[in-house]
DNA sequence: TTTTTTGCAAAACCTTTGCAGTTGG
DNA sequence: CCAACTGCAAAGGTTTTGCAAAAAA
């Protein structure tokens, strides 16, 4: 079993910064790489590799899914991109530039509720109190029902 | 996005009880079905569909992986079996008979730490306090580092 | 006998890999 | 120029599905 090496997030908030960050590492700024960055920046939310390869449903240029995965991995190693698994389905990728966020995944409506990492500190504390287990929600977020769906569920069960 | 219907756990603690529970539903008690139940009972811990198909590494009779999946699903609907996804890798299946447990998955050593569901109530409370989100850990358990691995990690970082 | 279930093979889904050809610097 | 990168195609791991044959009740 492996654990991803600690990568310091590299915050970029526009394309130029992203491109500069890539160039600064000596990596090449190819068309495929640019497309990935553009899609992530346009999405402003966690999306799948397929979303990117599709060009966000046709709104952008399409690209090869294998290159997308390779670039997501590379950009992840650079600290520009983070990815996580929210329940079933494909992994989600998001630009670190949108701020340090963690997510709560609603398994009913698909909502990815974004919360500040600090807010989850009390949650991590509660887990740690159990047995010293250090919970990490950044790669496998908490899954459940958002407030809306939980209410709906409660109403349905009445 | 779908959510599994609420299934009341059906607790069985030996083969005869399991077989009886299956018969009671009108479902047929086939050899393949029995093998799944036997493997789950012998394992006494969450295992993968492949573990079952392999006959627990040769200790038991092998069976067809497709039938294993179909039976796990059927037995899940009956409330005899629960399954969840602990980080990467195949899903894990466990007999409800081993008591109502939740798990904490260590992504370093692979340990599945079993805890009482009630113990996670404080954790769920902490999440609920954030935004009303109802966390559920039974299908997507908390992932992180067990106390042992966390300590090792801290030592290595010194 | 009838309906359920099986075993096999094929496909679906997400992701990774090999490789020959292309391209950025 | 040439190492880095791409696109394509194939494969890997996990799970589902179609279907004719087998078996439970």
- State pLDDT tens for residues A25-69: 999 999 999 999 999 999 999 999 999 999 999 999 999 999 999
A48: Cβ under 7 Å from strand C? yes
pLDDT tens column, A54-112: 999 999 999 999 999 999 999 999 999 999 999 999 999 999 999 889 999 999 999 99
Contacts of A129 in chain B (CB under 8 A): 122
Neighbours of B4 (CB within 10 A): 12
Tell me which DSSP letter residue B107 carries. Answer: T
User: Would you call B119 and A109 a contact, using CB atoms and an 8 Å cutoff?
Assistant: no
Q: Are B96 and B81 in contact (CB under 8 A)?
A: yes
pLDDT of B1: 47
Scanning every strand, the nucleotide with its C1' closest to B27's CA turns out to be: C4
A3 pLDDT more than 80: no
Per-residue pLDDT, B130: 95
Domains of chain B plus CATH, in order, are: 15-97 (1.10.10.10), 102-157 (3.30.1490.190)
CB B112 within 8 A of CB B104: yes
Residues of chain B with pLDDT under 70: 1-6
CA A48 / C1′ C16 distance in Å: 16
Query: Rounded to a whole number, what is the distance in Å from the CA of B29 to chain A's nearest CA?
Result: 31
Per the rule left: phi > 0, alpha: psi between -120 and 50, beta: everything else, B45 is beta
Please give the pLDDT value at position B7: 77
> Which pair of tokens denotes residue B92?
């894990």
Are the beta carbons of B135 and A87 separated by less than 8 Å?
Answer: no
Q: Is the pLDDT of residue A1 over 50?
A: no
- Assess contact for B70 and B35: CB atoms under 8 A: no
Which residues on chain A are in Cβ contact (under 8 Å) with B85? 88
The pLDDT, as a whole number, for residue B5 is 52
Write down the pLDDT at residue B118: 95
The C-alpha R_g of chain B, in whole angstroms, comes to 17
pTM: 0.93
């Amino acid at each position: 079993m492996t654990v991803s090496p600690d990568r310091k997030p590299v915050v970029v908030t526009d394309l130029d910064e992203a491109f500069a960050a890539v160039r600064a590492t000596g990596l090449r700024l190819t068309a495929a790489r640019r497309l990935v960055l553009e899609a992530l920046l346009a999405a402003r939310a966690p999306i799948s590799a397929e979303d990117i390869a599709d060009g966000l449903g046709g709104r952008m240029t399409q690209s090869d899914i294998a290159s997308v995965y390779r670039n997501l991995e590379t950009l992840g190693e650079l600290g520009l991109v983070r990815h996580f698994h929210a329940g079933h389905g494909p992994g989600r990728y998001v630009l670190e530039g949108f701020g340090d966020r963690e997510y709560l995944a609603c398994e009913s409506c698909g909502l990815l509720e974004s919360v500040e990492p600090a807010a989850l500190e009390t949650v991590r504390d509660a887990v740690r109190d159990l047995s010293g287990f250090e919970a990490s929600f950044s790669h496998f977020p908490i899954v459940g029902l958002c407030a809306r769906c939980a209410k709906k569920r409660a109403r349905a069960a009445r």
